[in-house]
Amino acid sequence: MSILKEFRDFAVKGNVVDLAVAVIIGTAFGKIVSSLVADIIMPVLGALIAGLNFKDLAIQIGSAKIAYGLFIQACVDFLIIAWAIFIAVKLINRFRRKEEPAAAPPPAPPAELKVLEEIRDLLKSQRA
């Protein structure tokens, strides 16, 4: 039974649940960005470059087809997603810095330590 309890404790920790939500949202966001790139950005970019369709860009080598146009689309997808994540992390870090409380001043030394420091200072002054 302890294995089941350990698994339950692991599964319901905040970090695991947060990670699961992030993966689901990230997958959905990736689909949206892929559609944005494939259906809006690349056709506009292709129209600006003499009506070029990136989906059709490929090289035929024997029976193999190297679809480098799709690779270009995937790279644009990656750049947009990476930029969005960079901005999100930057905003999150900015909010976290504001929430962190200022460091508390160190506690005053105990009275015995102050007395010992005074004795030390007096002994040093008597030697000199």
Could you report the per-residue pLDDT of 87-112, keeping only the tens digit for each?
Answer: 988 888 888 777 666 677 888 888 88
HSE-up (13 A, CA, CB side) for residue 64? 3
Q: Decide if pLDDT at 42 tops 70.
A: yes
Q: What is the pTM of this model?
A: 0.57
Structural domains of the chain, with CATH: 2-127 (1.10.1200.120)
String of DSSP letters for 70-86: HHHHHHHHHHHHHHHHH
Average pLDDT of the segment spanning 17-40: 87
With b for 16 or more beta-carbon neighbours within 10 A and e for fewer, the 71-98 pattern comes to ebbeebbeebbeeeeeeeeeeeeeeeee
